[in-house]
DNA sequence: GTAGGTGCAAAATTTTTGCATGTTA
DNA sequence: TAACATGCAAAAATTTTGCACCTAC
């Protein structure tokens, strides 16, 4: 997502440009931490203390629908949002829940047609699970750190 | 998951073999529909009308921990369970929510080491999104059928 | 001025948990 | 019989929604 593109996308659909929408967009541009909705709410409130969480949820949904951000369901009950809409995979630490982008292109059509079972494939999500450098160095064996689970 | 393996896994850990656990296992073996927890509850109740949903959730968790089934979070708020624990990808219909296995192996190490950002990668989840044959034939453009969303 | 947006609080959903009771080994 | 498992109901946690008020255009 680029800020101006997102604003243009709103304009082109006749949606109003409100301070709340601008604040959510500002909170997301250039962010590579894959925040949860709650984290976006928190960040928006730094500039705009009384936004309603419902509004943030609604704006996030809009941005996904506009194709400006990606909604990632990485397997722990909370949605995460990614302003990087280019084709890439994700690395998820199964200990601390950290999420990172991996520049690893995989065209949807790597799935041979005879394996598509009649589906018209429009996209692919690739999530690598593992342990991040920090968690590897810290505790080893079991699950120590907060697993970012629900 | 094979029934006998799952029972053996329970035994080997000193867990008791209860009718409820057997019923959940029976409900899952050979199932390729990737049922939600609620669907498993429903199915178990066909043979065992008064099982508590909490028990089914607990048994599903156990089976995942035992490595007998896979918990899939395919991006619509509900967990789905897959007794096929071999390495494979999933095809998800974005119209009706149907999920199918695709025999498409992708070793975790297809991710080149210099792209791993220091992670120790232990697994990969690949989900292809698209439209299933039924939904392709039915309505085209928008979203008609029940999108199996939350 | 008006269509559309926001805030609040309550609803909805799915999953988890505490605790008393029941059951397997 | 003694540890473990279950059932129930309430709690949790996240996201959605209804409705009255407000505001960008």
pLDDT digits (tens, 9 = 90+) for A124-134: 888 888 888 88
* Rounded Cα gap, residues A103 and B36, in angstroms: 32
Quick one: pLDDT band at residue A139, thresholds 50, 70, 90? low
Residue A126: CB less than 7 A from any atom in strand D: no
Other beta carbons within 10 Å of A16: 7
Report how far apart, in Å, the C-alpha atoms of B6 and of each of A149, B9, B18, B26, B62 are: 26, 5, 13, 10, 10
Chain A neighbors of B121, CB-CB under 8 A: 91, 128-130
Tens digits of per-residue pLDDT, A4-31?
Answer: 999 999 999 999 999 999 999 999 998 9
Per-residue confidence (pLDDT) for residue A146, from 0 to 100 = 44
Tens digits of per-residue pLDDT, B62-87?
Answer: 999 999 999 998 777 789 999 999 98
> Phi/psi at A55 (nearest 5 deg)?
-65, -45
**Neighbouring-strand partners of residue B130:** A121, B93
Record: contact B128-A128, CB cut-off 8 A: no
* Rounded Cα gap, residues B3 and B31, in angstroms: 12
Record: contact A120-B103, CB cut-off 8 A: no
Per-residue confidence (pLDDT) for residue A148, from 0 to 100 = 47
Closest nucleotide to B71, Cα to C1': C15
The separation, in Å, between residue A13 CA and nucleotide D25 C1' comes to 14
Instruction: Tell me what the pLDDT averaged over chain B comes to.
Output: 86
Per-residue confidence (pLDDT) for residue B139, from 0 to 100 = 58
* Rounded Cα gap, residues A80 and B75, in angstroms: 11
**For residues A52-70, average pLDDT:** 96
Record: contact A125-B129, CB cut-off 8 A: yes
Nucleotides of D under 7 A from a protein CB: 4-10, 13-18, 23-25
Record: contact A117-B100, CB cut-off 8 A: yes
Residue A58: CB less than 7 A from any atom in strand C: yes
Per-residue confidence (pLDDT) for residue B143, from 0 to 100 = 40
The separation, in Å, between residue B127 CA and nucleotide D20 C1' comes to 43
Buried (b) or exposed (e) across B32-51, using 16+ Cβ within 10 A?
eebbbbebbbebbeeebeeb
pLDDT higher than 70, residue B106: no
């Amino acid at each position: 997502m680029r800020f101006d593109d997102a604003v243009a996308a709103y304009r082109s659909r006749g949606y109003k440009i409100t301070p709340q929408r601008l604040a959510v967009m500002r909170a997301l541009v250039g962010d590579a931490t894959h925040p949860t909705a709650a984290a976006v709410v928190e960040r928006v409130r730094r500039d705009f203390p009384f936004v309603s969480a419902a509004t943030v949820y609604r704006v996030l949904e809009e941005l996904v629908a506009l194709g400006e951000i990606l909604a990632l369901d990485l397997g722990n009950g909370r949605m995460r949002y990614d302003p990087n809409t280019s084709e890439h995979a994700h690395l998820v630490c199964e200990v601390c829940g950290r999420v990172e982008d991996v520049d690893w292109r995989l065209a949807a059509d790597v799935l041979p047609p005879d394996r598509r079972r009649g589906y018209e494939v429009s996209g692919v999500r690739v999530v690598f699970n593992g342990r991040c450098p920090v968690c590897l160095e810290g505790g080893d064996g079991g699950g120590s750190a907060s697993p970012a689970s629900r």
